[in-house]
Chains A and B, each alone.
Chain A
Amino acid sequence: METEKKIQHLSERLTYIRDIFGSTQKESLSLLESKMADVRQQEGHLSPEKRRKLVQDLEDLFVFVENKLETSLTAMDKVRIVRHPQRICLRDILENVYDNYTEIGSMDEHSIDPSMVIARAYISRRRGKKTVNQSIMVIGQEKGHGEEFRNGGSVKPWGNAKALHYMKVAETENIPVHTYVFTPGSYPIEDTPGAAQQIAANLYEMSSLQVPVVAIFSEGGSGGAEAIGLADKRLMLSHGYYSVISPEGAAAIEGRLRTGQRAGQELVEACAMRMHITAQDNLRMGYIDRIVQEPSLGARPHHYDFFRTLRQQVLRATDEVVLGIRGNGLYRTIALKSRERRAKSGIDFEKTYVSWSLSSNAKVRLINKRHAKFRALSRNAAPDSTPLWERMQTRWQEFTAEMVSHIRYHMLHKHQQKLSEIAGEIESEWRLFFERLVNPVRNVIAKVLGSGEQVNADTARQLTELSEWNDTQEQRGGNWAWVSRRAKEDRAVTCPNATVHGCLDIWAPDLFGEFAGVCPNCGHHFPMEHQWYLHNVFDKNSLYEFDAHMEAGNPLSMPGMDEKLAEAKRKTGMKSACMTFEAQINDVKMVVAMLTGAFRGGTVGAAEGEKFIRAAERAKRKRYPFLAYVHGTAGIRIQEGTNGVIQMPRCTMAVRRYIDAGGLYMVTYDTNSYAGPVASFLGCSPYQFGIRSANVGFAGPGVITETTGVQVPPHYHNVYKALERGHIQGIWDRREMRFNLHQALMTMGGRNLYYR
């Protein structure tokens, strides 16, 4: 019976190896297959002892071959390992790593989203002779060994919302959060709360979650991973991957394939390798803190030693986070060092107790440390050719701006506010007293002389006559500071709504000149170049660009990418897809970060992310409102791999720091805005507006159909739909953007110059 079980087990291991290596490693596979066949043939005729010996030999052979194959694993092999149904999943971890757990809000398929599993668990540790149960909120995607209802760990927006809810519960209960990332990516659906908007909300909240967060990555697929991956310590399983896009998706883009077409296996393998998606790559680039070593060919549920290692590692990571922010510096240093020594010598972490509850001061330090950690990431991934003297000048300007702001807003403003409050109180008191004193006299005079109120002639006219547009308002329709080059073409253009609304053909010089690319009949907005906004929205000559030297690079040395970037730079005259500048509207100063669709589709890489962060920091330093004008963005630049995807948490954290400091952050979408940026630093803004030409979403219609099999109706992503879903807060006409933006600044910013 025992040998039969072992043979069955070995047969499963053989299937696993066959699935992982497929057509490669044929020799090893055929060796194992033939040996397995031999054993099956012989075992019936042998005595129990000989049978045991035979099976033991076979087991040894498996170990030998697995170890041999382990050395030749490619990046794509690891992707196959991670996706395999025999791979460990979150429930295995809950069973084996934690001492006890209660699953929250799910029972198999009966859940708001079975691909997201949440559990309250505890780990027992020794404190002297006492056993202490330390509580943890465990959150992670569940692949469920191929159970169909788990959706492969692809979480729907409401699954991510549930995760966020329980992170906040953990925060209330002051217990650490362990997140386990087992997802190929988020489920691309726009239904409320919306894939992108929910991931953005998760990132925004997690950036300042006041409890230690430890993330363990097995399959880190882009936005889905980021939704729960923003952590103080990020561990990664040695056979996992963490990437901006699946290798197949990258191959489809690289190979310029149409929807439905499949990329060749060679291209997929090459893309997996070039994108540097393995744990070792990510450790080298600094996006994870540590690798958790798995057994040969990846951990499966029978690898009990691995679970022990994982338990030690999550304990160690949580302890490190907590000890790293303890108030007493001396104790912290000593404790951390001794921990590291113990870890190296394999000492059991369970036997040394570290309390995980945090004081209010420690919580502040925890968040500051988290922000500093992410701020430091990917700094070397984007070349900055700013000359030294200019950098020094910038630093000096930053310093002086900081000082001026500090004096004006922190020191003077504080007292000024108090004084004005007192003055206001006194004035109100006096007014009331005066009115009561004077009113009886005033009434007597009014009775004697009759009502003496004279209505001003202008006021009377305003109240009784219809208003007229003045010259400036009339000219706003046709007097633009910049018009598109398309206005010089002598041709007619048909509005796409012509069949529905009966729009007549429009002459291009009229359309792109006077009408600013808006159909005069139905109001359809034709896409417009970003220069139009620069010249027509902001005050004349008020733009001051900064960080212009920072340029988009090729940190992963992707073949052909340098040429593509050079071409984009030549075409647009820009060095990256993000332009950051200071500008004014009716003398109201602001900082703007603009993502331009013309430069590689407005994709965000390390340079764009860094520029965006610096812009947010500048706005914070100068106490200016911060506007993200998204002319267009296709998502994260996949050719930069994790260097790109890490911009999602980095930029969101910069936004969070800015908003927490009292800033007003607004986003305006134009043309098409999709994927990572919307699912992070754009989608987290409380004030998002769309120009009527905009499409906003997580994934385009083609990707949705490909991944979910669901066809989406036309105009699924347009701003009206986005507004109905609650993803944006308003829709603007392009011609009125200047007016609306100013209006928004005045109403949302308040009188204290947009700063609380």
Chain B
Amino acid sequence: MLDISAVLEKIKASPYKELTITSPHTGVLTLPEGLAPGTQLHGPMGTWKEKPGSLLATLDRERNEKNIHCPEKGEVVWLNTELQGSFVEAGVELVRYRHFLSKEEVLEQILKQALHLYLAPERAKYYFVPAVDIKIKVSGPKAVSVRDGEEIFIMSRMKREAPLRYSGPEGVIYAVYFNHNQNVDTGQALIGVCPPDLITQVEDVVTRVQMEWKERE
């Protein structure tokens, strides 16, 4: 059985992920001035993420300068300053940065391990069958337990409706990830199912994360 508390402790021990940016191709490397270990980085910004993240390096190949930007928020850990101004091969490590996990990311990691996600088989609108729907509306999703082969969804596409059977381990619907009247893309999670004996633990950990997790800049 999965020990959720141990998962949380593990995350707490190293509350970040470390990522390395490598050169996508050959070229002459220029590291921007002011970039040093400890420098704070930001990811793409703007309503549509249209503004690129912090500049990490510039590669010049055949008089074509290409900027490499940071894909997410973080802090520089290491810079390959030795290669500053020199020609580098593709795949050479340039910058290593540390991205501190946010509350949402921690919860996502835990739930990914604890829940069974049932994915949308195709792009369509999804509804619960009336019996399940009423139960969810009255007592919440956790009141509904599902087992393999049970008909719980209606898949509606282009005004044609088809019943959909759940497949996966038996359990309680812990989370519902779709809304009525909205299209769900293929492969997106519809529900997260939790084994009944894990529910209390999961809830406990979620509350602890919500209360205790301190986000670092």
Contact = CB atoms under 8 A, between A and B. Distances in A.
Contact of A491 (B47, B48, B64): B64
Contacts of A494: 64, 66
A681 B131 CA distance: 61
A493 B64 contact: yes
A551 B63 CA distance: 39
A31 B96 CA distance: 70
Nearest to A491: B63
A711 B25 CA distance: 35
A714 B63 contact: no
B61 A714 contact: no
B62 interface: yes
Contacts of B47: 711, 713
A505 B61 contact: yes
A493 B62 CA distance: 9
Contacts of A492: 61-64
Interface string B38-50: 0000000011101
A619 B66 CA distance: 48
Interface in A490-524: 490-494, 505, 507
Interface in A693-717: 711, 713-714
A713 B66 CA distance: 24
Contact of A505 (B48, B50, B62): B62
A494 B27 CA distance: 14
B70 to A, nearest CB: 14
B104 to A, nearest CB: 24
A227 B36 CA distance: 57
Contacts of A507: 62
Nearest to B64: A492
A611 B66 CA distance: 43
Contacts of B66: 494
B183 to A, nearest CB: 19
A491 B50 contact: no
A505 B27 CA distance: 12
Interface residues of B, number: 10
Interface string A711-741: 1011000000000000000000000000000
Contact of B64 (A505, A711, A714): A505
Nearest to B69: A499
A714 B62 contact: no
Nearest to B52: A499
A711 B47 CA distance: 8
A711 B64 CA distance: 31
A490 B62 CA distance: 8
Interface string B171-204: 0000000000000000000000000000000000
B22 to A, nearest CB: 16
A466 to B, nearest CB: 34
A489 B64 CA distance: 11
Nearest to B49: A714
A476 B179 CA distance: 51
Contacts of A505: 25, 61-62, 64
Nearest to A714: B50
A713 B63 contact: no
Contacts of A713: 47-48, 50
B44 to A, nearest CB: 11
A713 B64 CA distance: 28
Nearest to A493: B64
A700 to B, nearest CB: 15
A733 B65 CA distance: 28
Interface string A71-108: 00000000000000000000000000000000000000
A507 B62 CA distance: 9
Interface in A590-620: none
Contacts of A489: 63
B71 to A, nearest CB: 11
B93 to A, nearest CB: 20
Interface string A108-123: 0000000000000000
Contacts of B50: 713-714
B138 to A, nearest CB: 40
A298 to B, nearest CB: 41
A711 B51 CA distance: 13
B205 to A, nearest CB: 37
A492 B48 CA distance: 29
A228 B71 CA distance: 49
Nearest to A711: B47
Contacts of B61: 492, 505
B57 to A, nearest CB: 15
A491 B65 CA distance: 10
A714 B44 CA distance: 14
A549 B47 CA distance: 49
Contacts of A491: 62-64
Interface in B76-112: none
B48 A490 contact: no
A488 to B, nearest CB: 13
A220 to B, nearest CB: 34
A384 B77 CA distance: 67
A490 B61 CA distance: 11
A495 to B, nearest CB: 11
A491 B47 CA distance: 34
Nearest to B25: A505
A714 B49 CA distance: 10
A734 to B, nearest CB: 22
Contacts of B62: 490-492, 505, 507
A493 B60 CA distance: 11
Contacts of A490: 62-63
B119 to A, nearest CB: 24
A493 B64 CA distance: 6
A713 B47 CA distance: 8
Contacts of A714: 48, 50
A713 B46 CA distance: 10
Contacts of A711: 46-47
Contacts of B63: 489-492
A491 B64 CA distance: 6
Contacts of B25: 505
A449 B37 CA distance: 95
Nearest to B61: A492
B64 to A, nearest CB: 4
A518 B65 CA distance: 20
Interface string B106-138: 000000000000000000000000000000000
A475 B50 CA distance: 39
A28 B64 CA distance: 64
Contacts of A493: 64
A458 to B, nearest CB: 45
Interface in B3-37: 25
Nearest to B65: A494
A711 B50 CA distance: 11
Contacts of B48: 713-714
Top 5 closest A-B pairs, CB basis? A491-B63, A492-B62, A492-B64, A714-B50, A713-B48
25 contacts: A489-B63, A490-B62, A490-B63, A491-B62, A491-B63, A491-B64, A492-B61, A492-B62, A492-B63, A492-B64, A493-B64, A494-B64, A494-B66, A505-B25, A505-B61, A505-B62, A505-B64, A507-B62, A711-B46, A711-B47, A713-B47, A713-B48, A713-B50, A714-B48, A714-B50
Given A494-B64, A505-B61, 4 more contacts: A492-B62, A505-B64, A711-B46, A711-B47
Interface of B: 25, 46-48, 50, 61-64, 66
